[in-house]
Amino acid sequence: MSESSTESIRQQVDEIYQRESRRVFATLVRLLGDFDLAEEALHEAFAAAVAQWQETGIPDQPRAWLVSTGRFKAIDSIRRHARFNEAQQEVAERLERVAEQNADRSDQDVEDDRLRLIFTCCHPAIAPQVQVPLTLREVCGLTTEEIASAFLTSPSTMAQRIVRGKAKIRDAGIPYVIPNREELPERLDAVLTVVYLVFNEGYSASSGDSLTRRDLSEEAIRLGRLLVELLDDAEVTGLLALMLLHESRREARTTVDGDLILLEDQDRNLWDQEKIREGTALVQQAITSGEVGSYTLQAAISAVHAGAQSAAETDWARIVDWYDLLLQANPSPIVELNRAVAVAMHQGPDAGVELIDAILSRGELSEYHLVYAARADLCRRSGRTAEARAAYEQALSLVNQASERRYLEKRLRELDEQRTSHE
């Protein structure tokens, strides 16, 4: 095979890895019953793919090929280590039996594997502070550093949590299954939290050069659709609506160079009207079909934005009303911050600054860059230039995301240019 053909195969394998690796991993976990063994099998399968596909070409169903190869690589590995170990021999035999039992599983069963793995990671036997990071690591493939950044903690602390979670699943014999309907309520809140965190990491990455990771957002939406099919629950519907409405704005959120564009400055012609229609219909369905929860309320706010033909036509009074309800359902400083911005847009920037200062005076969100970015923007609008500069600089000292950093630096330059022009 020519060098160019070899490079083409490698690029295609890389693309398949980005798209399929965590699905393959989830299926291998179900088949092998062990996180670490599944991870090793996953990497061996992709290594084999690089070597073999250069000779045979990429198969029609690469995911199935990778699952099959990874499964047999794992069994062979255990066999090699089991020659002088009776216990390992029993494991190898068990894996072969499992492999045979799962050989004829339907495509839908495989499609459910990541959802199955999420429910496993969110089992009530696992500590709540471990459930979400464990799922983000094992189901979505985020690095420990990325997860630690999202949770404002150190990578070493996060690594310990993830190790404890995997050990708990192994030692407690937690099954890799979607729970029955009687068990779903106690697991659902954690699962919805995980799915939304996955979406958020894809929609607004916590660190790195790229503002967004489309693969994570698309995966979260896919999982949301599976949950809607599985459950007749208003809040599940509300979460799917929220993700669709946010995702509808993806193409308008950044410049061609990857720089951030705020909602008010976005080209609304780039918004995905099909997602907006679906999301808005789901919001209405969720509001009328059951008790309204925080995801549905957030979706209702997003639907108001989506329905405005321009930033100037946004019904900020209605958004403030929705935030009032959201604050009752989910009292948190983040919700307060978002409400403060909405109040500022409705009543004027000084009203928003006053609310943000009240949050900061309580010592909340002091390490959160967006609270300072919001304060800076409102001070800039109000002509409080010195305060705006100080807040932008504070936000810059805390931000981890490259495109957000560039945006804040741009705002600071604009303040300098305004000062120079007035001198």
In sequence order, the 6+-apart residues with CB closer than 8 A to the CB of 64 are: 110
Asked if residue 322 is part of any domain, the answer here is no
Asked if residue 422 has pLDDT above 70, the reply is no
CA distances in angstroms from 41 to 25, 322, 375, listed in the order given = 8, 48, 49
CA nearest neighbour of 412 among 392, 386, 383 = 392
- Please report the pLDDT score of residue 92 as a whole number: 60
Which runs of consecutive H residues, i.e. helices, occur in 248-315? 273-289, 294-307
Give counts: helices (H), strands (E), the chain: 20, 0
Q: What is the largest CA-CA distance in the chain?
A: 84
Asked if residue 233 has pLDDT above 50, the reply is yes
Asked if residue 289 is part of any domain, the answer here is no
Containing domain of residue 5, as a range?
Answer: 1-106
In sequence order, the 6+-apart residues with CB closer than 8 A to the CB of 176 are: 29, 30, 33, 116, 117, 120
What is the percent of the chain with per-residue pLDDT over 70, rounded to a whole number?
Answer: 87
- 141 vs 157, which has greater pLDDT? 157
Asked if residue 97 has pLDDT above 80, the reply is no
Asked if residue 24 is part of any domain, the answer here is yes
Asked if residue 81 has pLDDT above 90, the reply is no
Asked if residue 101 has pLDDT above 80, the reply is no
Judge whether 98 and 32 are in contact, CB under 8 Å: yes
Residue 106 — pLDDT band, cuts 50, 70, 90?
Answer: very low
Q: Domain count of the chain?
A: 1
Mean pLDDT computed over every residue of the chain = 86
Strand partners for 401: 208
According to DSSP, residue 86 is labeled: H
What is the average per-residue pLDDT within 360-365?
A: 94
Asked if residue 416 is part of any domain, the answer here is no
- pTM of this structure: 0.74
- 116 vs 352, which has greater pLDDT? 352
Asked if residue 108 has pLDDT above 60, the reply is no
Q: How many CB atoms lie within 10 A of CB 83?
A: 8
Residue 9 — pLDDT band, cuts 50, 70, 90?
Answer: confident
Residue 107 — pLDDT band, cuts 50, 70, 90?
Answer: very low
- Please report the pLDDT score of residue 298 as a whole number: 97
What is the average per-residue pLDDT within 81-96?
A: 59
Residue 103 — pLDDT band, cuts 50, 70, 90?
Answer: very low
What is the average per-residue pLDDT within 337-365?
A: 97
Judge whether 418 and 385 are in contact, CB under 8 Å: yes
Euclidean distance between CA atoms 315 and 300, whole angstroms = 12
Lowest mean per-residue pLDDT among 99-113, 207-221, 356-370, 377-391: 99-113
Task: Name all contacts of 152-158 with Cβ < 8 Å and 24+ positions apart.
Answer: 152/367, 152/368, 158/133
What is the average per-residue pLDDT within 210-233?
A: 80
CA dihedral 201, 121, 133, 126 (to 10 degrees): 150
Asked if residue 28 is part of any domain, the answer here is yes
> pLDDT tens-digit profile of 302-349?
999 999 999 999 999 999 999 999 999 989 999 999 999 999 999 999
Asked if residue 3 is part of any domain, the answer here is yes
- Please report the pLDDT score of residue 216 as a whole number: 79
